Chains A and B, each alone.
Chain A
Amino acid sequence: MFKKMMRFAAPILSVLLLLAGATITAHAGDSVKIGLSAPLTGDWAEYGNDFKRSITMVFDKVNKEGGVHGKQLQLVIMDSRGDPKEAVLIAQKFVANPEIIAEIGDFSSSCSMAAAPVYEKANMTQLSPTASHMDFTKKGKNMFRVVTTQGIEGPFNARWAVKDLGKKRIATIYINNDWGVDANKFFVQEAKKLGAEVVAQEAFVPGEKDFTAILTKVKRLKPDLIYLPAFYADAAAILNQAKRMHFKTTVMAPGSLFSEKTIELGGKAVEGLLVAANYFNTDPRPAAQAFNKAYQAAYGKEPNMFAALAYDAAGLMVAALKAAGVNDRSKIRFALEGLKDYQGATGTISYANGHDPEKELLKITVKNGKWVVYNP
């Protein structure tokens, strides 16, 4: 009997559920909506959640102080799973909703770039905290980013390694995704130009956690520096496994590794790691300190670079809304371009000379289990 009932009930129930989902619409009112497209599930979920935390924090603060032009800010969050196709769908959904005035996201370059044409067509500003692919901001007039591109970060690191540290034999181990490929390419180009020999460029797929084979090979080539475009868990695994095989050399990485998690997971193995960071938690600049304090107060933990970039994205968006008003999508872009020397947690940002901010990168390192400013 039960089985029979269930047989009828299940489809009806699912249809009801669907309808329930369809009818829940956000209550409009005296609010202005900003879309956030970010991976909340899947491989990149934690970074999407970093975005969510930082931006919610900023918007809550602004709302408590009375909102923008008397209107409350409301964040409409959608999960892209890190899949470009989903990002396009989300873009279409945001664009079709006249209440949404601008968008923040996505996390990855491929998602951001896949969605860019949709935003461009609708003249909606797309502000990605982290999309670092060179071509992203070339996709249209409405694309902005907060992070420095790999075209800047890679050569910066290469000069640091070759010119300042005098390294001559360099090996790279990079993550084979949209970001890692570029990060590796720009570093290697510049390093070669400066006369260093690149003895190995080894890629690994996301999700790989065994690096012993790569490390054994690299160890035999005796590099004096390893460059690691990777994320903290990969880097912790790589350095721990290197330590296990008694392989010691200088290791340098892009800002992606600046996170308390790198030290938590890496332990003693990450001592001496060199990183050029967009953001750093004991950075004395007031904007950085304000962010660090607010984030700690709200979530009880140290923010990482991705959280800081998203914080700045939210801050930039609020500043732009204040300047442009909250009624016209197409004005946001000009407001962003008009911002002069915006003081963000990740540095001074202005979009007057292009949509790729040129920020000073900070040289930091791990010393006695803590991130400190690098002092040669």
Chain B
Amino acid sequence: MFEQLINGLTQGSVYALLALGFTLIFGTLRMVTFAHGEVYMVGAYVGFEIIRLLAPSFMLAILVALAATALLGVIIEILSFHFLRDAPHVTSLLVTIGISILLINLAQLIWGPETKSIPYALLDQLDYGEFEIWGVYITYLQIAVLMVTVLLMTALYLLINKTKLGMVIRATAQDYEAAYAMGVNVNVVFSMAFAIGSMLGGVAGVLIGVYYNLFYPTMGQLYGLKAFSASVVGGLMSLPGSVVAGLLIGVIETFAVEFGASSLRHMISFLFMILILLFRPSGLFGGKELIQARGD
């Protein structure tokens, strides 16, 4: 049981990391993006290339992936939101779907359709050891993934709630026209929020990519949708909510495998999402306030 709990938390932190990005983007732009899973994929491939070609260093891989996904985030924001701010929600949604299709197929052209992995000679240099508690082997990488998730969530929470920049983001999220009237450069704020959200996806890509050591063009699809449901369960606007929801979904999934048919595990996150929508629409920790999408 303890072992399954650890498995669940590791799996859950993947969802949580991706859900954080979703939540930040939706919270600020009031827009659902379907390209988030592909941002994660791009982050993973960038990390893969850095480790393979430059140096087997986590820090370097993450830094470059951060820069790449931030840039990608800005591009996606400009394409899907900047020109379409007064358009119906579906228009932005479709642009993100188009971007997602484009990114998957470009990745297939660049890296080929097959699954790639970091050669073991290099991977061993990253050297993540392991330790044993109660008969369960835990790698340091697993701990790192979990720690990074919590750390990023805290940092983001502080950024949004305690800094001036956070105040600007919150103001823009609430009413961008009013924020604009108060002298906020809303264009920059939107781009920045999207970039930060995408960077979270990029970090997740590097960490998870190296953890499983499997890189393939469609790697973001299932995780993107799962993270999306975690974000909804968390309330779509709440950063701690999405982390808790992500971890919870991960744990419930592993226990579902333990006690039932393993083929049902993926239904859980979506079932959970629908139940939340029906009975507690503002999310696990949400208040009374309901969410409005753009043009809703």
What is A's interface to B at a CB cutoff of 8 Å?
A: 41-43, 45-46, 48-49, 176, 202-205, 207-210, 212-214, 216-217, 232-233, 236-237, 240, 244-246, 261, 264-265, 267-268
Contacts and interface: CB of A to CB of B under 8 A. Distances in A.
From B4, B114, B120, B265, name the one whose CB has the most chain A CB atoms within 10 angstroms: B114
Given A232-B115, A236-B117, A245 B137 contact: yes
Contacts of B253: 213
Contacts of A214: 257, 262
B120 A267 contact: yes
Contact of A233 (B11, B108, B120, B216): B216
A233 B112 CA distance: 14
Given A209-B212, A212-B254, A46 B113 contact: yes
Contacts of B114: 46, 261
B3 A216 contact: yes
B261 interface: yes
Contacts of B172: none
Interface in B255-273: 257-258, 261-263, 265-266
B117 A264 contact: yes
Nearest to A241: B212
B257 A202 contact: yes
12 contacts: A41-B108, A46-B114, A203-B263, A204-B263, A207-B219, A212-B11, A213-B258, A240-B212, A240-B213, A245-B3, A245-B136, A267-B120
A122 B45 CA distance: 45
Given A208-B222, A212-B10, 17 more contacts: A43-B218, A45-B108, A46-B113, A204-B262, A205-B263, A207-B218, A212-B11, A213-B11, A213-B257, A216-B258, A236-B115, A237-B214, A240-B212, A245-B136, A264-B117, A265-B117, A267-B120
Contact of A210 (B11, B130, B258): B11
B105 interface: yes
Contacts of B213: 240, 265
B57 interface: no
B122 to A, nearest CB: 11
Contacts of A41: 105, 108, 113
Given A49-B113, A244-B130, A205 B266 contact: yes
B262 A213 contact: yes
Contacts of A244: 130, 137, 139
B137 A246 contact: yes
Nearest to A40: B113
Contacts of B43: none
A366 to B, nearest CB: 14
A43 B11 CA distance: 22
B11 A265 contact: no
A213 B8 CA distance: 8
A203 B261 contact: yes
Interface string B118-151: 0110000000001000001101000000000000
